[in-house]
Amino acid sequence: MIRDVNVSTPAVESLPSTEVLAERQRQNLLLFTVGRDLFRFSGAFRLGAVLLLCLLGMAALSLVAPYAADARRVVPNDRPPSLQFLLGTTALGQDVFWLTTFAIRNSLFVATVAVLISRTIAVLNGSFSGYVGGAVDRVLSSITDTFIVIPRLPLLILISFMVRGSLNLVALAILIGLLDWAFPSKRYRAQVLSLREEEFTQTATFAGMGTFKIILREHLPFLIPFLMADAVSGFLFAIGIEITLSILGLSDLSMPTIGTMIYWSNYYQVLLAKHLWWIGAPLVSSVLLVVSLYLLSTSLGTYLDPRTRLKSLAVRGAG
């Protein structure tokens, strides 16, 4: 299979012609129109986009934060929200507002890296297994089926317990990514199975394209809509797992993430002390984050699904 890549025909590799450039421009324009249409017609998309932009803005604010991410005892302890400290301060002498900006940024970072890893494995595994078929497919599929059944949380707890203390954000992200590819693989495989029967696949094969090239150049573009919706479920999983491991005290507790903020606020018993601002900030931002991502993904999914588009046309026609 590796040989196929090396023998890639030079004709295809030549400089992009004007037609190719025009096609790319058209695609970019198409993406823009899709975004604009969704923003105009779908309330869920609008709400999700605005919420996510606000949260990304919060995360970006952490770059200009007056304190370092892991700084402690820099402000007075346990102050309720005020003009000086927008969301109050913690028992550790941290400003909750700036702490939250770091927490959102770090949680998003962990989730993004985890999704990149898991979806790369899933797309490659799924499409390779679906495209090649035969014995390769049987072996890859049974590996995937095995990993689907294995419950991931106890395994994650075992691993992070063993390396407690040395599990930084990157290691955590990689760990989550390596455990979340099995279920999506199955779906990509199913999609490629049907793409394989299309005429353009045969044209590409006869034109001498290698397996990897067909998967990446010809099939991947068709998987992208599904990939976008699926990536969101990867985000939700990663954010949830980060929170779970942190609250159990198994991640790097010195770095502010949504999970570690909840861990420390629990540790200082905010519920008894009625210092709700400390635990409220990570709770609210995590809920807003997952809900906004989910709204974006479902509205995109509905938009891309031809059945619902026909339905809405029919409704509009009747009305």
Partner 1 sequence: MNFVRGYALPRLVQWAVVIFVGATVTFLIPRLLPTDPVEQTLNRVSATSVTDPRAVESFRNALKDLYGLQGTPLEQYLNFWSRLVRGDLGPSLGAFPTPVTQIIRDGLPWTIGLLGTTLVLSWFLGLVLGTLAAYYGNRRWSHVLSGVLVTLYPIPYFILALVLVMVFAYYIPLFPLVGGASGQASLSPAYIGSIIGHSFLPAVSLVLGGTAFRFIIARSLASGVISSDHVTYAELAGLPRRRIVFAYIMRNSLLPQVTDLALALGALFEGALITEFVFSYPGIGYRLYTAILQSDFNMIMGVTFFSIVGIATAALFIDLLYPLVDPRVRYR
Question: Residue 298 interacts with partner 1 (CB under 8 A)?
Answer: yes
With contacts defined by CB under 8 A, name the span among 15-23, 63-71, 77-85, 280-288 that binds partner 1. 280-288
Instruction: Write out the two tokens for 311.
Output: 């339905």
Considering only 112, 205, 211, 244, the residue that binds partner 1 (CB under 8 A) is 244
Question: Residue 287 interacts with partner 1 (CB under 8 A)?
Answer: yes
Residues in binding contact with partner 1, number by CB under 8 A: 42
Site string for partner 1, 143-162 (x = CB under 8 A): --xxxxxxxxxxx-xxx-xx
Closest-CA residue to 181 (of 138, 130, 143): 143
What is the per-residue DSSP string for 246-286? Answer: HHTT-S-TTS--HHHHHHHHHHTTHHHHT-HHHHHHHHHHH
Strand partners, 66: none
With contacts defined by CB under 8 A, name the span among 52-60, 64-72, 139-147, 214-222 that binds partner 1. 139-147
Considering only 243, 255, 261, 300, the residue that binds partner 1 (CB under 8 A) is 243
Residue 105 burial (CB < 10 Å; 0-12/13-18/19+)? buried
Distance of CA 22 to the CA centre of its chain: 31
> Nearer Cβ to partner 1, position 212 or 294?
294
> Nearer Cβ to partner 1, position 62 or 144?
144
Question: Residue 247 interacts with partner 1 (CB under 8 A)?
Answer: yes
Question: Residue 8 interacts with partner 1 (CB under 8 A)?
Answer: no
Question: Residue 170 interacts with partner 1 (CB under 8 A)?
Answer: no
CB of 245 to partner 1, least distance (A): 10
Site string for partner 1, 68-107 (x = CB under 8 A): ----------------------------------------
Angle ∠(240,280,54) on CA atoms, nearest 5? 75
**Phi and psi at residue 166, in whole multiples of 5°?**
-105, 15
Do residues 52 and 296 lie in contact, with contact meaning Cβ atoms separated by under 8 Å? yes
Question: Residue 249 interacts with partner 1 (CB under 8 A)?
Answer: yes
Considering only 271, 273, 309, 312, the residue that binds partner 1 (CB under 8 A) is 271
Question: Residue 236 interacts with partner 1 (CB under 8 A)?
Answer: yes
**Residues in the chain, total:** 319
Question: Residue 262 interacts with partner 1 (CB under 8 A)?
Answer: yes
Quote the CA–CA distance of 193 and 182 in Å, as a whole number: 17
Residue 109 burial (CB < 10 Å; 0-12/13-18/19+)? middle
> Nearer Cβ to partner 1, position 212 or 267?
267
What are 6-9's contacts with CB under 8 Å, separation 24+?
Answer: 7/210, 8/210, 8/213, 9/208, 9/209
For 133-219, where are the alpha helices, taking DSSP H only? 134-149, 152-162, 169-178, 182-196, 199-206, 211-213
Q: Report which secondary-structure segment, H or E, holds 235.
A: helix 220-247
CB of 291 to partner 1, least distance (A): 6
Quote the CA–CA distance of 271 and 282 in Å, as a whole number: 14
With contacts defined by CB under 8 A, name the span among 32-40, 204-212, 216-224, 279-287 that binds partner 1. 279-287
Question: Residue 267 interacts with partner 1 (CB under 8 A)?
Answer: no
Question: Residue 115 interacts with partner 1 (CB under 8 A)?
Answer: no
Question: Residue 43 interacts with partner 1 (CB under 8 A)?
Answer: no
Tokens 């709400």 belong to: 47
Residues that bind partner 1 (CB under 8 A): 142, 145-155, 157-159, 161-164, 166, 183, 236, 239-240, 243-244, 247-250, 262, 271, 283, 286-287, 290-291, 293-294, 298, 307, 311
